[in-house]
Amino acid sequence: MQFVQVKRREILRMIGGVATCWAVSAAAQQPKMPLVGVLLVRSPGSEQFKEQLREELRKLGYVDGQSIRFEFRSDQGKTARLPELASELVQLKVDIIVTWFTPAARAAKEATREIPIVMALAGNPVETGLVKTLARPGGNVTGVSGVGAELAGKSVELIAEMLPSARRVVALGNAPDPFSKPFLEKIRLSGKVAGITIDAMMINGVDELEAAFAAMEKDRPDAVIVQPSLGLQRPTELALTYRIPAISLFREFAEEGGLMSYSSKNADIYRRAAKFVDKILKGTKPAELPVEQPTKFEVVINLKTAKALGLTIPQSLLLRADELIE
């Protein structure tokens, strides 16, 4: 009887050992779930970006919580927080960092030279030092660039068409954002061509918006072009309060109550950014992926705002608009 009990114990021990080995082996064979860090500049459009990024990756086979995980970080309107947030993502050892807007891309690049970074809408990445060239980005940064500076310059032409009597426009820039330099350069260049004086007004973030618009009231411009990283809702509210026609480079700006937006179609950009994430997760290095540029653009005019400002939009511009908000 004692012999049988010993044998039974040995058999049970063997079975337990085999089961443990099998469990460890099975766990080792399961692929690691990729962790994607997402670094955002706060804006009403940031929520749309988060949702669409998840959706586009789901279409590519990455289901949140099942085959991919996300860590989202937003500066909550405080650009100075971006370096700290980027460092948090690096410490979490994310597999990729996806950035939205130029300041977020800059903060991520300064935080790591190893983790791949995918830009989703970073303005003029060569001029701002994010990549060496579009065709050969080098380093760990690639993705989809914006052409915001060019769109800002084109906005001056749209102002001239909409307000033929316009002679002075304020370019409201966000000083901490490295995109502010090309943003202002293109606006000034277009102003010279159109015969419109461009006054640059630099502020240090959204907290200074109200003072900026109050200062404009003393020497009222014909229009203001707002740099996108200054947000959407507050600039549109202040522009209506001070009765200044306002334009920016996001369609949401017009949807929020701004007079007009001239922008790339961001849904297309977000879809392409998701494809960059997919390629990198499958082993392609960022340096081997040329930076892409937007190819689809749209003009959105808020007719309700035009009426509130007492403006009549020329028929030629109405016909060119992709969408009219009434």
CATH number at residue 276: 3.40.50.2300
Q: Are residues 259 and 194 part of one domain?
A: yes
Q: Are residues 252 and 204 part of one domain?
A: yes
Q: Is the pLDDT of residue 17 over 70?
A: no
The CA distance from 196 to 59, in Å, is 47
The CA distance from 226 to 42, in Å, is 15
Q: Are residues 186 and 248 part of one domain?
A: yes
Q: Are residues 161 and 53 part of one domain?
A: no
Confidence category of residue 24, pLDDT binned at 50, 70, 90 = very low
| Weakest mean pLDDT among 44-48, 117-121, 191-195, 250-254 | 44-48
Please indicate, yes or no, if residue 9 is contained in any of the structural domains. no
Q: Is the pLDDT of residue 190 over 80?
A: yes
The CA distance from 280 to 95, in Å, is 9
Q: Are residues 157 and 109 part of one domain?
A: no
C-alpha distances in angstroms, 54 versus 86, 115, 322? 20, 20, 27
Q: Are residues 160 and 303 part of one domain?
A: yes
Please indicate, yes or no, if residue 26 is contained in any of the structural domains. no
Residue 136, pLDDT score: 94
Q: Are residues 318 and 235 part of one domain?
A: yes
Domain count along the chain: 2
Domain limits for position 42: 35-146+265-295
List CB contacts of 19: < 8 A, sequence separation 6 or more.
none
